[in-house]
Structure 1
Amino acid sequence: MNEGVEWAMHSCVNLCFIPGQAVTAKRLAAFYELPTAYLNKQLQALSRAGILSSTSGPKGGFQLAKAPEKISMLDVVVAIDGAEDAFRCTQILKAGPGAKASVDYRKYCVVSQSMRKAELSYRQELAGKTIADLVEQVIQLDPNAPENTRNWFANLKS
């Protein structure tokens, strides 16, 4: 999985702590000492997916485009990594001894089937958890996280 997925998830959580405020990619990147240009690519992908909105200009930046409870973790993963399955069966069994050209080995192969089953479980888990769920867990672990995040951004020198 692309490291940008992690960065995008954390950025979405942080944006929840400063609602209604557009935050630049530079400022979001500074929070975790990430490369601004690379994080900006992830934020742009989230914008194209309708997860974030972006505003240009001196007061511009990124903010959530919809409520955090409407953004699943799978939405973020798909926005960053694409909708393609992680496992792609190339049907190598067709080249093996005794192979039959008429068989769709994606459906017959036990490796393919096991990988597809695991991918389905993984996607269901991500689809069932929202950014709001993550925010709730962060607050349970650190009740000061929202205020600390707001203060950090408020005190950051552009």
Structure 2
Amino acid sequence: MRMNQGVEWAVHVLLALAWLDDGEPVSTARFAASYELPQAYLNKQLQALVRAGLLESVPGARGGFRLARPPEKITLMDVVMAIEGPEPAFQCTEIRRRGMGADAPESQFRVACAVNTSMQRAELAWRKSLASQTIADVRTEAELHAPAVAGMTRRAYGRD
């Protein structure tokens, strides 16, 4: 499965805000500079997170974005849904009814397509896995692999 790169960007922004943990907003420009990302495209991802209730947008010269919920209450599935939308990854087009199956009796299609059923089962497992992992979980795992990352993030945003 291929996801929009905005999902990765969104998770990193949420992690940065979790490490900053002070409620002070961070501007799109600051995030974009920190990760060397295009500001306009990053802002679209951040606005999607606001619409999903994951971030709050703070207007004004010292405005920006801050977490709308604690990191323990934001799942990876929340992020994927905000950026990618709710549509299933697999779309069955019932090709079994075309070509060699075009003249098959309707009774042959009463049982759900095995390909569609298998793909839906796999996607459900994927979605459950994403829903079971929070930004706090990812933060903990990142800190296990790179213990200095929290301090590095706070310094990069002038919070240390």
Q: TM-score, normalised by structure 2?
A: 0.90
Cα distance in 2 between the residues matched to 1:124 and 1:85: 13
| Equivalent position amino acid for 1:146 in 2 | A
| Equivalent position amino acid for 2:53 in 1 | G
Show structure 2 runs of 5+ residues with no match: none
Change (3 A) 1:109 1:34: same
CA shift at 1:94, angstroms? 1.9
The CA deviation string for residues 22-67 of structure 1, in whole angstroms up to 9 with x for no partner, is: 0011111111101010010000000000000011111100011001
> Comparing 137-146 with 45-54, which one deviates more in the overlay?
137-146
Partner SS state of residue 62, structure 1: strand
> Comparing 14-23 with 146-155, which one deviates more in the overlay?
146-155
The CA deviation string for residues 75-120 of structure 1, in whole angstroms up to 9 with x for no partner, is: 0000000011000111122224243447767x62121111111101
Cα distance in 1 between the residues matched to 2:104 and 2:84: 33
* Corresponding position: 1:136 with 2:140: yes
Task: Say how many residue pairs are matched.
Answer: 154
Q: Contact 1:94–1:100 at 8 Å: present in 2 too? A: no
Partner SS state of residue 93, structure 2: coil
Query: Where in structure 1 do 4 or more consecutive aligned residues deviate above 3 Å?
Result: 98-105
Identity value in percent: 49
Partner SS state of residue 50, structure 1: coil
1:75 to 69, 78, 81: 78
Cα distance in 2 between the residues matched to 1:103 and 1:72: 41
In structure 1, the partner of 2:38 is 35
Q: What is the aligned-residue RMSD (CA, Å)?
A: 1.7
